[in-house]
Amino acid sequence: MNSFPQTLTLAGTDSGGGAGIMADLKTMEARHVFGTAVVVAVTAQNTLGVQKSLMLPIDMINAQCASLAADFQIKACKTGMLGDKEHVLAVANNLRQYDFGPLTVDPVMVAKGGAILLEEDAIKTMITELFPLATILTPNLLEAEKIVGQTIDTPSDFKRAAQMMQQMGAKNIVIKGGHKVGEKVQDYVLLANGHEQWLSAPRIDTKRTHGTGDTLSACITAELAKGHSIIQALQIAKNYISQAIAQTIQVGHGHGPLNHWAGQELS
């Protein structure tokens, strides 16, 4: 009997349910894969911002990974909020120790409300430790600019930045264009084989975009676990995120969460 596709997120929680591990698990559920989670950080958070956060002890990260490896067949995994150098390193060590399938690295740095989710001095560690393990890297525009140390504006800037991230060891890259302005949102894709492509969709005029990056990377992870190719996974994820933003739900008073049921019939 083929086992049901099992996936893993190693990230931070969001008590508000819109981003981080909560968004990841909701996305995995909606995309019909089984979601598991290694909690790296806990945040007290809502749609208005992050009020407090706590990093879990490293031996607890190790214990959660060991528990999963002992019992599950994880087919694909992703990382999100990792907080600091020590936790980036601990997550990388576990990903080297266990086979959790293709890895999507979402290099989460700053929350939409402005809270720091990765300390500045951990970016280097993320590049050296995690990028070489990544099947796909999904920075937003600001994260990509931080990683390569250059501003990214024109199409050739996107290409050069993605090539630089490949030289840092990441194989396939998508630079998300949500933070740019314009009628369309365009994400730039550069695959390991040199294939490049823009994933384009109408820009939805809303501030309800809490957890967009987590949702996109969790959907990519779910589709990779089902055996889809990287480009198929990206196209499905782009379609899913566009619907999840467009089919608005009214929750909270700030940057509201997405509709993870998008595309499903509600009873």
**Which residues lie near ligand MP5 (CB under 6 A)?**
11-12, 14, 19-20, 43, 45, 80-81, 108, 111-112, 117, 210-214
Q: Assign 229 to helix, strand or coil.
A: coil
Site string for ligand ADP, 6-45 (x = CB under 6 A): ----------------------------------------
Binding residues for ligand ADP restricted to 178-197, rule: CB under 6 A: 178-179, 185, 187
Q: How far apart are the first and last CA of the chain?
A: 32
Q: Which is nearer to ligand MP5, 31 or 112 (CB)?
A: 112
Angle between helices 85-97 and 58-71 (to 10 degrees): 20
Which of 135, 140 has the CB closer to ligand ADP?
Answer: 140
When CB distances are held under 5 to 8 angstroms depending on the partner's kind, the choice from ligand ADP, ligand MP5, none that residue 179 binds is ligand ADP
- Least Å distance between CB 248 and ligand MP5? 15
User: Smallest gap, in angstroms, from Cβ of residue 67 to ligand MP5?
Assistant: 21
Tell me the C-alpha distance between 35 and 32, whole Å.
9
Q: Which of ligand ADP, ligand MP5, none interacts with 135 (beta carbon under 5 to 8 A by kind)? A: none
The nearest distance, CB 177 to ligand ADP, in angstroms, is 5
Contact 11, 214 (CB under 8 A): yes
* Residue 9 bridge partners (DSSP): 37, 78
78 part of the interface to ligand ADP, by CB under 6 A? no
Q: Rule CB under 6 A: is residue 209 a binding residue for ligand ADP?
A: yes
17 binds, among ligand ADP, ligand MP5, none (CB under 5 to 8 A by kind): none
Q: Which stretch binds ligand ADP (CB under 6 A): 7-15, 70-78, 206-214, 257-265?
A: 206-214
What gap in Å lies between CA 188 and CA 35, rounded to an integer? 27
User: Should residue 231 be labelled a site residue for ligand ADP when binding is judged by CB under 6 A?
Assistant: no
Nearer to ligand MP5, 125 or 215 (CB): 215
H-run or E-run covering 165:
helix 155-167
Burial class (CB in 10 A: 0-12, 13-18, 19+), 118: buried
Query: Which is nearer to ligand ADP, 69 or 204 (by Cβ)?
Result: 204
The Cα-based distances of 169 to 6, 16, 133, 164, 193 in angstroms read 26, 34, 8, 9, 14
- The whole-angstrom separation of Cα 71 and Cα 204 is 41
Cα dihedral sign, 245-183-255-217: positive
Residue recorded with tokens 């990544």: 134
Q: Tell me which residues touch ligand ADP (CB under 6 A).
A: 140, 176-179, 185, 187, 201, 203-204, 206, 209, 212-213, 216, 238, 241-242, 245
